[in-house]
Amino acid sequence: MGIFDKGVHKTKVSFFEKLSRAVIGKSKVDDDTLDAIEEALVASDMGVDTTLKIIDNLEERVQKDKYMSFEELVGILRDEISKLLDVDGDAGQAVQPFDFSKKPYVVMVVGVNGVGKTTTIGKLASSLRAQGKKVVIGAADTFRAAAVDQLQIWADRAGVDIVKQGMGADPASVAYDTLSSAVAKSADVVLIDTAGRLHNRIDLMNELTKIRNVMRKVVPDAPHEVLLVLDASTGQNAFQQAKEFSRATDVTALAITKLDGSAKGGVVIGVVDQFRVPVKFIGIGEGIDDLKVFDKREFVQSLFSLDDLKK
């Protein structure tokens, strides 16, 4: 089973069980079939708006020829979902998610507590270091001592530098020190952790804006990426988190964690469609190497491959 097969297996089994029940013994796609497809898509946490968009397009395509096989129907669904994921004009693989011509390349990582934000930073640092990149992590989530301690453990595991201050320190000050250190050390990439609190959108917005402004005193066009980490297993909560963080700051990319442990993999498609932000990384396990660059084609192929369902 490949990387993406593992990530979408539970979603696929759940989806195709519902889909096959809807079309079994039928020779044409009727309203009942469309209703069942709609129910299967919603159950995978694709979101109502995205589901309705797919159903509307599906209705148009089957209008001309209602007689189609299960495989033809799956092919149409695959085409529709591929289009929804193509938000950055590149239907192919995100071979290199970061632009290393900018040095240091500054990534501000945002997301609520518990989604795997700190773990994602650690895994990303490890992956970048394995590519020969010099990485510096900034522990700007100063509201939880555990966050800084956890980040230190990941930095040690990944073999990268970390800049931190005491608990309760000004996050913007940590970010400033991190970028100053990165510039002095000619680092390739900076990963800035931020506080994962959604207690008040205005406070969150002010804090992230302050961090941005302070970083720009050191690196004028920082951050080059604002990476929002979402947990696939939270389903519809992921949409709400994406909405809040998109209002608070300019989110440019997504990392979706815990994809392998959930039948809610449709959230990947729904969030990309609703917020027009590409997924750059997916987490499919607990290991340090289990953060993978997202490949749209491979994701869709895995989701709609019928081979392992026939076994």
Domain 105-294 of CATH type 3.30.420.40: no
Residue type, 182: A
pLDDT tens, position by position, 159-173: 999 999 988 899 999
> In the prediction, which pLDDT does 23 show?
67
Distance separating the N- and C-terminal Cα atoms of the chain: 12
In sequence order, what DSSP letters do the residues of 251-309 get, joined into one string?
A: --EEEEE--TT-S-THHHHHHHHHH---EEEEE-SSSTT-EEE-BHHHHHHHHH--HHH
Residue type, 125: A
pLDDT tens, position by position, 173-221: 999 999 999 999 999 999 999 988 765 667 888 889 999 999 999 999 9
Contacts of 238 (CB under 8 A, 6+ apart): 45, 230, 231, 232, 267, 271
Dihedrals φ, ψ of 191, to 5°? -115, 115
pTM equals 0.88
CATH superfamily of 3-91+303-310: SRP54, nucleotide-binding domain (1.20.120.140)
Residue closest to 93 by CA, chosen among 308, 278, 305: 278
Residues of the chain short of pLDDT 70, as ranges, are 1-14, 16, 22-27, 65-68, 89-96, 198-201, 261-264, 306-311
The C-alpha atoms of residue 16 and residue 7 are separated, in whole angstroms, by 16
Domains 3-91+303-310 and 105-294 share a fold: no
Rounding to the nearest 10 degrees, give the CA dihedral for residues 14, 18, 24, 28. Answer: -120
Contact 62, 272 (CB under 8 A): no
> In the prediction, which pLDDT does 167 show?
83
Boundaries of every domain in the chain: 3-91+303-310, 105-294
Token pair 């506080």 is found at: 195
